[in-house]
Structure 1
Amino acid sequence: MAGDKVKVFGMWASRFALRVEWALKLKGVDYEYINEDLPHNKSRELLQYNPVTQKIPVLVHRGKAVAESSVIVEYIDEAWGDGYSIMPRDPFERAQARFWAKFVEDKCLPSIYQVYFKTGEELQKAVIEVQESLRTLEEALKGKKFFGGENIGYVDIIAGWIPYWLHMIEDLAGVSILSDGNLPLINAWFNAFLDVEAVKEALPPKDKLYAFNRDRREKIISGELNYKR
């Protein structure tokens, strides 16, 4: 399948589209990236390929579309099955990877969003919730460099936006979630993950992303913009 044309419909600041790019880069798959002008100017192609949710990311492979970032990552691992493995081969370990990925989606992601757009007492409560969710997530890192072991795996890709975004969100909200003294395994994973070349290649420019998130947070807090994932 190395010669098959691959397209990724995403948006430069999207954490979810990044997952798709990381998976493709780890597999060594060339792709064309189509940056959507969201939320109001979605392309005709995006609406054609994902008429159900009309959201990014969407992967197009052999003319067929796959939507939802976590589904796309699993598809990539199966479609390009030779070489780098994203999902564990062992059924139990594969189930565990899906469990922790769902924990990231259901617990870590919502609590970090709360820090992003809350203020006052609600913000302080959100900080505690993030710390608790990350402390639980550390259980999956015990004795490992990455969630996937010695190499990046499925959970690393699903959770991988956190190392790049969280410190930015801390600064924007004026809070401290991580320090050298707490969550040592999470801190070590942050550093190890962001040091991987395939990860760094796809990351958006930090200054541009900071400005984007600052403006978006201010609009959400002021009520000018409705909160959406």
Structure 2
Amino acid sequence: MEEKEVKLFGMWASDFALRVEWALELKGIEYEYVNEDLPFNQSEELLRLNSVTKKIPVLVHNGKPLAESLVIIEYIDDTWKEGYSIMPKDPYDRAQARFWAKFAEDKCITTTLGVFTSEGEAQKKVVQEAREAFKTLKQAITGKEHFGGDSIGYLDLAIGLFAFLMPVFEEIVGVSIVDDANAPLLKAWFARFLDVDLIKTSLPPRDKMYELCKERQQQFISGQIKF
């Protein structure tokens, strides 16, 4: 299928936009990238294309906008069927991938952000919740090289943001969530995922990400920005 127009609205430090970039790169799709100045200065075009949530990422294909990173990834795989397959072929495996992606969104991401944006006793409580969530998530990769099996797939893209950002978050807050004692399978997968050429060449500079995350943490704690 010839793409007349593929445009991705993202932000250089957005883990959710990065999911979509990975999907486009895996499929070999040429696209234009529009870097938004977030969180306070969304462009008029972004607000027009995603008037519902006003958030990135937004994929525009042939003039039609689509929001929400995991929805976009499935659309990409369904639209460009040739070549690399992101979603599992088997219906049961696809359903399982969606289940674990939702679990990661609801439990792992939520609790990790809770650790990142809290202090004192409140933080101690959510640290334990985050560790338990990642212990549960390891079930999805037991006996596999990647969540997608021998190669990275939908669930790897959905969860891949942790591999890069978790060590940054842990360094900033001074606590360990995913380590060799708590979740060794996930810790090992972090290293394998980040060693994939397509992944490691697309990551933002760690020092720049660290500074931004540190700034965002203070903005969350002070109430300047909210989830």
AA at the equivalent of 2:7 = K
1:89 match: 89
2:152 match: 152
Cα deviation for residue 54 of structure 1 reads 1.5
Alignment of 1:179-194 (within 5 A): 179-194=179-194
1:11 match: 11
Q: Partners of 1:180 and 1:50 in 2: how far apart?
A: 41
Cα deviation for residue 37 of structure 1 reads 1.1
Q: Partners of 2:176 and 2:158 in 1: how far apart?
A: 23
1:198 match: 198
Contact 1:2–1:29 (CA under 8 A) maintained in structure 2: no
What is the root-mean-square deviation of aligned Cα atoms in Å? 1.2
| TM-score normalised to structure 1 length | 0.95
How many pairs does the alignment contain?
Answer: 227
Structure 2's unaligned 5+ residue stretches are none
For 2:190, what is the secondary structure of its paired residue?
A: helix
Contact 2:3–2:61 (CA under 8 A) maintained in structure 1: no
1:127 match: 127
Q: Partners of 1:43 and 1:106 in 2: how far apart?
A: 29
Cα deviation for residue 48 of structure 1 reads 2.0
Contact 2:16–2:57 (CA under 8 A) maintained in structure 1: yes
AA at the equivalent of 1:16 = F
| TM-score normalised to structure 2 length | 0.96
Q: Partners of 1:135 and 1:67 in 2: how far apart?
A: 30
2:29 maps to 1:29 = yes
For 1:102, what is the secondary structure of its paired residue?
A: helix
Cα deviation for residue 202 of structure 1 reads 2.1
Deviations 1:191-228 (A, max 9, x none): 111111111222111111100000111222233x1322
AA at the equivalent of 2:40 = H
Runs of 4+ aligned structure 1 residues displaced above 6 Å come to none
Q: Partners of 2:39 and 2:50 in 1: how far apart?
A: 15
1:227 match: 226
Contact 2:134–2:178 (CA under 8 A) maintained in structure 1: no
Cα deviation for residue 2 of structure 1 reads 4.0
1:73 match: 73
Q: Partners of 1:220 and 1:165 in 2: how far apart?
A: 17
Sequence identity, in percent? 55
Q: Partners of 1:7 and 1:19 in 2: how far apart?
A: 14
Structure 1's unaligned 5+ residue stretches are none
- Between 1:172-181 and 1:205-214, the stretch displaced more is 172-181
Q: Partners of 1:46 and 1:74 in 2: how far apart?
A: 21
Q: Partners of 2:186 and 2:198 in 1: how far apart?
A: 20
Cα deviation for residue 73 of structure 1 reads 0.3
Contact 2:8–2:34 (CA under 8 A) maintained in structure 1: yes
Q: Partners of 1:133 and 1:227 in 2: how far apart?
A: 22
- Between 1:196-205 and 1:164-173, the stretch displaced more is 196-205
1:52 match: 52
For 2:220, what is the secondary structure of its paired residue?
A: helix
